[in-house]
Every structure is written in structure tokens, then in C-alpha cells.
Amino acid sequence: MVFLISWLETNAVLLGSLAAVVTIATLFLVNGTQIMSAFFFNPKSEGGQRAREGVQVFQSVTDRPSIAVLPLTVMASDPEIEHLADGIVEDVITQLARVPGFFVVARNSTFVYKNMAHDLRQIGRDLGVRYVVEGSLRVMGDNLRYTIQLIETETGDHVWASNSDVNKDNVMADPDRVSGVITASLQPQIMLAEALRAKKKPVEQLTVWELIHCAFSPLLLGFERDSGTAVSVGLARRAIAMDPENARAKAALAWSLANRATSNARPWQTAEMEEALQIGQEALRQDRGDSVVLYCWACVLVYARRTDEGISFLERALQVNPYDAQVLAFMGTALIRQGRREEGLKKIDEAMALSPEDPRLYMWYAYKSMGYFANGAPDKATKAARNAIQQHPVFKLAWTILAAAEAAQGHEDKAMEAVHELLRIDPEHSFQRSLDAYRDGAVENAPVPERMQPLVELLEKHNIDQ
């Protein structure tokens, strides 16, 4: 043992050199073109700068979302805070790497930029990534303030940025609370950026993954009319035609078909739902380890009135990706439909705490409004519905629940304002179809049919939809 320690000390330089060679070789295998550029064109030399300007073209290592998470800039001289910041970044890298469909650069490749001035666009070229996550951590009295920015490296544009103050002692005791919020917040922002980026291209030029992101985009951009789900169905079918064995594409089609079926009074009896069940099972057989596939299949089951089964697959999805706030929120609405309303409302609150700036908040508030209304709290349902409308002013579900909740409180004028606004958004909207859906159990226990009666009477009084 003494001899081994002595040998290691004597040959430390040699071992360090070998480690460096392995690191360089690994980076070269990931993105050889960018690494060659970094070595042969010195950015500090005049000739090297001209060479870079002449030949550098952004090239991602994959058509999937590719991300590099850089070390946080620590604005404090406390080694304990420095260690905390590094641990948070390491956790975010690990958590994002668990998200199916994301390509995340390893810690060893991103921590070489620690405490260095850097050009984010150059990092994108060197590592072959489309997005870079950077941020800072500073002490603010008893709190720590962390700032996170998501940068699109090809253009250098800020996709999303956020900051938050958290109690220093709480973070020290449980740093996962911060890394979890960062991970949960980044996921929808990256998916939204991917969808918006893909929508700028002609459909004929979209890759399979871009088609899939566009198919899911109504959830991120806001459901408006049935045309949105119709487009999603078409995009998912095109993705399957290009890659017939892609489980995510099949899951996207099943999810889109099931959402389209919900526009009917009895969605479980539609041809769309029949196909959704068939194609969803195919996706599940191909990949039971993809949390998105599990989530989509759960949605199909819940809309098909197989809520117990749906909840079990939502639980599996959360085991694969515990930081998917949409799965957590949909678990809430599934529990509400099952009659476990308090438990369901709590799950939705957990989703909102996990991803407080999520583009899907409008949907989560609508879930809450349904839960409160079903639970006999129309005043809370009204507040939640108005929050949903503030996030997405033309979301028909929120306006429907708002009208019912106001009518249940005897607020006839406010209820009719909601009715007229809904008809302005969609002149062809059928209240009768919505009421029939509740009576037939399309949404099971949320809201229960008898609580819709004040709205029914109000519509009859004003001769609407009769």
C-alpha cells in the first residue's frame, strides 16, 4: 500500500495528462468539428478570429433539444455557498438527463467553464448544444437569491429567465427543493422554445422530433378551438409516417385524438377515442420507460372513463420523471374526477409550487376551478376560473366553469357576462352539449350534474342554446 501511494504521488502529472487526453477524446467524439475549431483556431489571435468568423456554423449533435447547464456564478466568498451552488447544478444536470428526449451535456464538459468569462454562443458551438442554462447565486441577508437564464445559443437570445429568493437555512438543509424547481421550470420552457422554433419552418422540412413538439404545442400555447387538436393529429400522423417505430410520435397521436374526442358529449364512444386507445397501447408496448408515453396513455384512459388505470400510469410517469409538473397537475384532475377532490386539489397546488411560471398554468387553474366547483365551493371556483382566464383569455373550459360558478352563487349578471363572452369567443359553442356531457358522466364527479342546475335555469330564462 505504501508503494502504491508513493507511485501515485510520483506519477500525478502523468495521470493528470492521461485524464486530460480522455476528456478531449470524449469531447471530440461528441462534436469533433467544434473541438477541432477550438484547438486550431485560437480566438485570441487575429488570424484565429478571422477563421472563426469565416467557418463557424452552429451544428447541434442531435435534432432533439440539447442542453448544457453551466456552473452558477457565486457572488459570495463563502466556500459553503460555492459548494451548494455546484451541488444544485449537478442535480439539475442529472434531473434534466432523466427527461426522455433531452440531450444533456455531462458535468465534466460544462464545469471547465467555471469562473471563466465565456461567450454563450461559442459554448453552444463548442459543445454542439442548442440551449445553455446559466445563472447566479448570491446571499441576501437570511435568504439566497438564485437567477436562472435559458439561452438559445444559435442567436444568443434569452428564451426565459427567472429569479427567486429562498431561505438560506432551508436550502442548505434541502437543496433538492431549489434544483427541483429549476428542473421543473426549464422543461416546459425548452419544449415551448422547440415548438416555436419548429413552427417557423415549413411542415415539409420538420424532423420527426420537431413534428412531435408541434403536436404537443396546444397544451403550451393554449387550447383554443377544435382546429388546434386537428392540426396536432395531422402532425403526429406525419411523424409516424416518417418513423413508424417512434413510440413518442404514437403517444402524441393518441393524446391528440383523445383531446379531440373530448369535444363530444360522450368521448368514450367516439371513433377518435377508439383509435387513441389502439395507438396508445402500441406506444406503450414499444416504450414503457418514457414518461411522456406514460402520461399520454394516462390521459387517454382518464378521458375514456378508466380513471383508476390512468392514475396508476401517472404514478409510473412520476417515478420516471419526478419533476414533470404537468403530470402532477393532471394527477390532480384525475383524482378530482375520481371523487378524491381535496387530494386532487393538493396535487395541483404541488404542481404550481414546482413550476410557478409554467406556460400551462391556465390549464391547472381550470383544473382547480372544476375541483372547487365539484366540492361545493363556487366562490373558490370563480377565483380559480378567473385566474385561468387571466393566463389564457380565450380558454373555453374556464369560461364555462366561471359561468356555472357565478350562477351557483346567484350572480346572474356576472354569469351572463361569462356566457356572452364564451359565445363571442366561439359563436358555435353548445352549452347543451356541455351539460349533456356532465349528465352522462363524461367528466365523472367534476363537476357533479346537480351543481350545474342554476346555469341550466339561467340559460333557459334567456333562451340560450335551447
Query: Confidence band (pLDDT; 50, 70, 90) for 228?
Result: low
Q: Are residues 175 and 214 in the same domain?
A: no
The Cα 283–Cα 253 span in angstroms is: 10
The pLDDT score that the predictor gives to residue 34 is 38
For residue 208, which of 219, 197, 198 has the smallest C-alpha distance? Answer: 198
- What distance in Å separates the CA atoms of residue 97 and residue 7, rounded to the nearest whole number? 37
Nearest CA to 197 out of 104, 322, 66, 287 is that of 66
In the numeric block, the cell 378567473 is attached to 386
pTM more than 0.75: yes
First to last CA, the chain: 90
Which residues constitute the domain of residue 397?
Answer: 351-466
Whether the per-residue pLDDT at 398 is higher than 90: the answer is yes
Residue 2 has pLDDT above 80, yes or no: no
Residues 22 and 98 in one domain: no
Are residue 442 and residue 419 in the same domain, yes or no?
yes
According to DSSP, residue 71 is labeled P
Distance between CA atoms of 365 and 77, rounded to whole angstroms? Answer: 42
Q: Same structural domain for residues 96 and 172?
A: yes
Angle between the 247-261 and 208-221 helix axes, to the nearest 10 degrees? 30
Q: What's the number of domains the chain is made of?
A: 4
Residue 81 within any structural domain of the chain: yes
Residue 44 lies in a domain: yes
Q: Residue 137 falls within a domain, yes or no?
A: yes
CA 42 – CA 287 distance, rounded (Å)? 45
Q: Are residues 362 and 424 in the same domain?
A: yes
pLDDT at 464: 87
Residues 185 and 212 in one domain: no
Q: What is the mean pLDDT of the chain?
A: 84
- At 66, is the pLDDT very low, low, confident or very high (cuts 50, 70, 90)? very high
